[in-house]
Amino acid sequence: MSGPVRSERHTFPPASEQVLRMIANDTMEETTINGRKVAIRFYGREAVALMGIDDPQEVRFRDGERAVIFDGAHAVTCAFNQPPREVTLRGRLVA
């Protein structure tokens, strides 16, 4: 671990090894929202859309259910804002 980081106005303590590991394992994806490329960061089950450099927005869904179709034939009804559920397809655990 290195020493404190200094800026013109502040001194910041060094990051812990645990925090550095969490950053290295941080998952981020990109999608298009309203015609703009937007980075999506995941924090456990929570997701944040980075709409701008200073505009993070939590990703949320309205309550409801939708059918997810696997292999164009097997429909499974999934609910938004509910705990994850296990789905078995052809004897194999899918989600």
> What's the predicted TM-score (pTM) here?
0.48
The whole-angstrom separation of Cα 14 and Cα 3 is 6
Q: What is the pLDDT of residue 31?
A: 87
Spell out, as residue ranges, where the chain has pLDDT lower than 70: 1-7, 95
Using the 8-state DSSP alphabet, how is residue 82 labeled? S
Distance of CA 32 to the CA centre of its chain: 15
Q: What is the pLDDT of residue 10?
A: 77
Q: Which residues contact 73 (CB under 8 A, 6 or more apart)?
A: none
Q: What is the pLDDT of residue 1?
A: 52
Q: What phi and psi values does residue 34 have, to the nearest 5 degrees?
A: 50, 40
4 is written with which tokens? Answer: 């404190």
Is residue 80 within 8 Å of 63, Cβ to Cβ? Answer: yes
Q: What is the pLDDT of residue 70?
A: 81
